[in-house]
């Protein structure tokens, strides 16, 4: 049973306002160690050097989208096993299928509440204490 | 930690940029740059607006954005062609979205059915979408979760990080380097390689770096290792099995790679790294031993090779940050004070006896230099690209063209030209009016244009550039130009020019900037009602700029605005009236002269006349106007500054002395002293004394009006100045 307060999470989203909202929602769940990245490049730089317990990434980003980031993470010697949750918009079924093939752990539809976020995280990490 | 309200503000700021990207992208596509990237960019922008709107609870915005996004998705998938009429609907949608964002931002209640016309048009487009029917039906419902997808969340503790790709083929990076023990245990490296090959496609290279010279070869030592890739449907366990018996007797590395790139270990992103300084950290980390992976071999070198390879090509992206404008204005103010203090310091040093302190003089010179640089830097912080005003124009032109049933194209250039915020804020209205005129009166109806042998579509060009310390903005169109006969007739009817006056074409064209002038046959609700070019002109003059126009009948018209770069600091001419020092804006001065006594007629009271190259120019005596004991009126040695009144007519100011020109920091006195007619602002000169900056254009009016009032106002101002000093 992982302790929420000990979890280290990376949020990836090119929209600052959305990133901050996601941060606030994570904090509502009790998560405190939160890294942020604006794009896939920054995310990979963080993932390569920081120990991470979870990556939550938006799909819709320029240059490298969430799926591309997922594949990069899964191919990276240091970060490959980090659990990955992909944020998608309504109606993105195809994306979820592709993401599953690429090794995603879970997905989350925007907008989401703290309760749903918690549920999705627990589906991957186990019940949070 | 940011509050929800602050985040909403951040979101709306993001929306401005996203909406701009949308409009620009759609316009590019319409102009033929119909690239995948352009369409994707527009889709992403609208998708981002929708996403943020959903998070912050702006439902109306979400609903419209969703429909908009669906059509954009069809375009980017290729199932809907981006023909001009489709793009027009999308541009209209971008306008509606913009309005919805604005209303959400200001908290206005959104009328239900707002944008419904556009929404219907979008829905018609969706019906056209060939492949989309099933998909759009599924999407129009708003599921909280996906039904019918067999997705099971993958638990982290059961996850080995190896995804199967679509066709089940995995790629492993394998490094195999036998140690002597392997041979001693009668294991044969070659057999192991053959076993691997049975699993799938093997692509190995032998590493022969340890191979000694033939004479030194020992027959029972392995010198060769192999490294390469294996493409197979086999699971990791099967690959491990091959090495089951030798795993302790060799250096072994087996890594599963992402399916896209079997050659490199990391899917290196194409974008240049933002912080090149961080690459060493990344490679350093990669160097650390990671589990059982290849010992300092291919994995890490691939990673470290990738980054330096990209670094030379990359430029660090410009980083920006958000600062409250108040903070910048405070800094600008402080720097202004510094400029003044430094000028005073310079003056004191100048007044010291020769040779008192060369060192002091040198240091002060440095201070002057640094202060100037600081001032320039700080002023550039307030500088904004004119693009922020320009970007409203495309939509304006679109809407006007539709309203007047004309075809008009707007071309813009020089949007990155920077100008002080204070100018930007005052530029919007005049520019809007000029462009309105161009569409409404300038560009002809499509049929008329064809008859005239022109393209059906009219063009308006909006350009900005820095020239000679000013910013020049040109608005030109290829329309009908000014109808000089009509203008002259109207001007004569209104008594603005004499019936027998002979005017050049240029002079006639400039008549349209006189107050109360409008030749529109019917007052179109677009630009005819009372806001004439004269208001535009006075707006421009208020910010210290000049406006001029040129027209060619049948070919078009060009209006040129010449604006100062900033309102906070100005080039001023220091003048003396009696013993008092004032400052006049250099931009207001047309000419300075010392006229011969004989050229001045009848200087009675405040007014008089000057003979100048065959014209008679009215004179205003500043000494009398300001109720000062000026001897200029009588003396042979007065100075006259020719300037322009509010109505454009020239007049001359009579004063005692010109003291030189300098940059002055403009200090508003309205807060402390209210508005004094004729006095624009104040400044502190190098000698530490306060000097008023005269509002030259109003002085002529003041002189004409009841003099006692002016004198009283001037006396009050004078007394105020004494109080300051």
Cβ within 8 Å, pair B51-A18: yes
- Homologous superfamily of B4-140: HPT domain (1.20.120.160)
pLDDT score recorded for residue A14: 92
pLDDT at B132 over 70: no
Under 8 Å between Cβ of B598 and B508: no
- Closest CB to A101 among B2, B55, B164: B164
Mean per-residue pLDDT for B476-494?
A: 84
- Closest CB to A109 among B1, B145, B257: B145
Q: How far is B4 from chain A (nearest CA, A)?
A: 8
Inter-helix orientation angle A16-29/B4-30, to 10°:
140
pLDDT score recorded for residue A75: 86
- DSSP code for B461: E
Bridge partners of B10?
Answer: none
User: How is domain B386-564 classified at the CATH fold level?
Assistant: Heat Shock Protein 90 (3.30.565)
Question: Given CB atoms, is A6 within the 8 Å cutoff of chain B?
Answer: no
Distance CA B562, CA B546 (A): 5
Inter-helix orientation angle B421-437/B533-542, to 10°:
170
pLDDT at B29 over 80: yes
Band of the pLDDT at B297, cuts 50, 70, 90? very low
| Per-residue model confidence as pLDDT tens digits over B431-466 | 999 999 899 888 999 999 999 899 889 999 999 988
pLDDT score recorded for residue B270: 36
Under 8 Å between Cβ of B687 and B711: no
Band of the pLDDT at A3, cuts 50, 70, 90? confident
In 3D space, the residue among B225, B224, B231, B228 whose CA is nearest the CA of residue B173 turns out to be B228
Chain B residues inside the 8 Å CB shell of A21: 7, 55-56
Residues 6+ apart with CB under 8 A from B366: none
Question: Given CB atoms, is B8 within the 8 Å cutoff of chain A?
Answer: yes
User: How is domain B569-724 classified at the CATH fold level?
Assistant: OB fold (Dihydrolipoamide Acetyltransferase, E2P) (2.40.50)
| Per-residue model confidence as pLDDT tens digits over A43-75 | 999 998 889 999 999 998 988 999 999 999 998
Cβ within 8 Å, pair A41-B269: yes
pLDDT at B715 over 60: no
Band of the pLDDT at B130, cuts 50, 70, 90? low
Distance CA B539, CA B545 (A): 9
Q: Please name the residues between 7 and 46 in chain A that touch chain B, using a CB distance below 8 Å.
A: 14-18, 20-21, 24, 39-42, 44-45
Place of tokens 């100062």: B564
Place of tokens 């245990």: B185
Q: Which residues of B287-304 are buried (b: 16+ CB within 10 A; e: fewer)?
A: eeeeeebbeebbbbebbb
Tokens of B183: 């041979």
| Per-residue model confidence as pLDDT tens digits over B77-90 | 888 888 888 998 99
Helix (H) or strand (E) holding B432: helix B421-437
In 3D space, the residue among B4, B34, B40 whose CA is nearest the CA of residue B22 turns out to be B40
The interface pTM score, or ipTM, of the predicted complex is 0.90
| Per-residue model confidence as pLDDT tens digits over B621-648 | 888 777 777 776 666 678 888 887 655 6
Tokens of B523: 């007052």
Strands B408-413 and B458-467 come out as parallel
Chain A residues inside the 8 Å CB shell of B270: 63-64
pLDDT score recorded for residue B648: 61
CATH entry, B166-267, from 3.40.50.20, 3.40.50.300, 3.30.70.260, 3.30.300.30: 3.30.70.260
**CA nearest to A127 within chain B:** B155
Residues 6+ apart with CB under 8 A from B161: A74, A80, A81, A103, B256
Band of the pLDDT at B103, cuts 50, 70, 90? very high
Under 8 Å between Cβ of A41 and B279: no
Residues 6+ apart with CB under 8 A from B341: none
Work out whether the CA dihedral B54, B60, B65, B70 comes out positive or negative: positive
Q: Please name the residues between 54 and 83 in chain A that touch chain B, using a CB distance below 8 Å.
A: 54, 58, 60-64, 68, 71-72, 74-78, 80-81, 83
Tell me which of B8 and B508 has the higher pLDDT.
B8
**DSSP alpha helices (H): ranges in B590-651?**
622-625
Tokens of B601: 């007629």
Tokens of B604: 């009675």
Question: Given CB atoms, is B22 within the 8 Å cutoff of chain A?
Answer: no
In 3D space, the residue among B632, B622, B617 whose CA is nearest the CA of residue B696 turns out to be B622
**CA nearest to A100 within chain B:** B151
Helix (H) or strand (E) holding B121: helix B116-128
User: How is domain A4-125 classified at the CATH fold level?
Assistant: Rossmann fold (3.40.50)
Interface A–B counts its CB contacts (< 8 A) at 171
């Amino acid at each position: 049973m992982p302790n929420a307060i000990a979890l280290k999470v990376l949020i990836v989203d090119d929209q600052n306002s959305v990133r901050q909202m996601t941060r606030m929602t994570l904090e509502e769940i009790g998560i405190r160690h939160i890294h942020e990245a604006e794009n896939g490049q920054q995310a990979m730089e963080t993932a390569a050097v920081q120990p991470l317990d979870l990556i939550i990434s938006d799909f819709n980003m320029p240059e490298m989208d969430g799926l591309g980031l997922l594949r990069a993470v899964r191919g990276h010697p240091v970060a490959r096993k980090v659990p990955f949750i992909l944020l998608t918009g309504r109606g993105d079924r195809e994306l979820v299928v592709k993401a599953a093939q690429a090794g995603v752990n879970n997905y989350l539809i925007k907008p989401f509440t703290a309760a749903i976020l918690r549920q999705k995280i627990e589906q991957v990490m186990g019940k949070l204490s | 930690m940011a509050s929800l309200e602050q985040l909403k503000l951040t979101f709306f700021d993001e929306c401005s940029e996203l909406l701009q990207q949308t409009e620009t992208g759609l316009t590019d596509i319409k102009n033929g740059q119909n690239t995948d990237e352009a369409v994707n960019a527009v889709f992403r922008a609208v998708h981002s607006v929708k996403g943020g709107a959903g998070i912050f609870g702006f439902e109306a915005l979400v609903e419209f954005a969703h429909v908009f996004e669906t059509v954009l998705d069809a375009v980017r998938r290729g199932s809907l062609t981006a023909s001009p009429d489709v793009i027009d609907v999308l541009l209209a949608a971008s306008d509606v979205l913009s309005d919805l964002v604005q209303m959400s931002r200001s908290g206005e209640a959104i009328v239900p059915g707002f944008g419904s016309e556009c929404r219907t048009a979008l829905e018609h487009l969706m019906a056209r979408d060939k492949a989309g029917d099933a998909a759009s039906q599924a999407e129009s419902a708003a599921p909280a979760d996906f039904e019918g997808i067999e997705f099971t969340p993958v638990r982290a503790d059961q996850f080995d990080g190896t995804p199967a790709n679509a066709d089940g083929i995995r790629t492993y990076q394998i490094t195999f380097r036998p140690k002597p023990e392997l041979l001693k245990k009668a294991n044969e490296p070659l057999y192991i390689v053959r076993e691997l090959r049975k699993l799938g496609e093997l692509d190995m290279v032998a590493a022969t770096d340890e191979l000694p010279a033939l004479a030194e070869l020992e027959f029972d030592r392995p010198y060769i290792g192999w490294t390469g890739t294996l493409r197979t449907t086999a699971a990791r366990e099967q690959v491990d099995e091959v090495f089951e018996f030798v795993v302790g007797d060799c250096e072994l590395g087996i890594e599963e790679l992402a399916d896209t790139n079997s050659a490199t270990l990391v899917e290196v992103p194409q974008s240049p790294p933002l912080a090149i300084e961080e690459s060493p950290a990344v490679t350093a980390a990669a160097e650390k031993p990671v589990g059982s992976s290849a010992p300092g071999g291919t994995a890490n070198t691939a990673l470290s090779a990738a980054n330096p390879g990209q670094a030379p090509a990359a430029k660090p992206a410009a980083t920006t940050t958000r600062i409250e404008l108040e903070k910048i204005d405070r800094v600008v103010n402080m720097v202004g004070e510094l400029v003044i203090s430094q000028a005073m310091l310079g003056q004191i040093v100048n007044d010291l006896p020769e040779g008192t302190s060369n060192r002091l003089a040198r240091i002060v010179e440095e201070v002057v230099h640094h202060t100037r640089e600081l001032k320039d830097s700080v002023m550039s912080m307030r500088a904004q690209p004119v693009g922020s005003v320009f970007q409203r124009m495309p939509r304006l032109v679109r809407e006007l063209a539709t309203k007047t049933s004309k075809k008009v194209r707007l071309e813009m250039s020089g949007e990155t030209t920077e100008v002080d915020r204070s100018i930007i804020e005052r530029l919007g209205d005049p520019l809007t009016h000029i462009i309105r005129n161009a569409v409404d009166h300038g560009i002809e109806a499509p049929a008329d244009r064809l008859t005239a042998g022109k393209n059906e579509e009219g063009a308006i060009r909006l350009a900005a550039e820095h020239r000679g310390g000013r910013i020049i903005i040109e608005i030109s169109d290829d329309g009908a130009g000014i109808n000089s006969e009509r203008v002259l007739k109207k001007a004569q009817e209104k008594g603005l020019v004499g019936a027998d006056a002979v005017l050049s074409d240029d002079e006639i064209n400039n008549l349209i900037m006189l107050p109360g002038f409008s030749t529109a046959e019917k007052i179109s609700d677009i630009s005819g009602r009372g806001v004439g070019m004269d208001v535009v002109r006075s707006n421009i003059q208020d910010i210290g700029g000049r406006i001029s126009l040129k027209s060619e009948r049948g070919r078009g018209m060009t209006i040129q605005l010449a604006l100062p770069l900033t309102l906070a600091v100005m080039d001023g001419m220091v003048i003396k009236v009696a013993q008092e020092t004032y400052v006049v804006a250099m931009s207001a001065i047309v000419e300075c002269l010392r006229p011969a006594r004989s050229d001045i007629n009848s200087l009675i009271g405040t007014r008089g006349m000057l003979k100048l190259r065959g014209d008679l120019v009215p004179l205003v005596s500043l000494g009398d106007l300001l109720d000062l004991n000026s001897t200029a009126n009588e003396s042979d040695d007065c100075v006259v500054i020719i300037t322009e009144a509010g109505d454009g007519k020239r007049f001359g100011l009579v004063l005692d002395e010109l003291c030189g020109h300098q940059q002055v920091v403009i200090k508003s006195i309205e807060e402390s002293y209210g508005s004094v007619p004729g006095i624009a602002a104040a400044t502190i000169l190098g000698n530490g004394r306060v000097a008023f900056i005269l509002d030259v254009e109003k002085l002529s009016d003041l002189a004409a009006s009841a003099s006692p009032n002016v004198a009283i106002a001037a006396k009050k101002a004078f007394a105020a100045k004494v109080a300051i000093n």
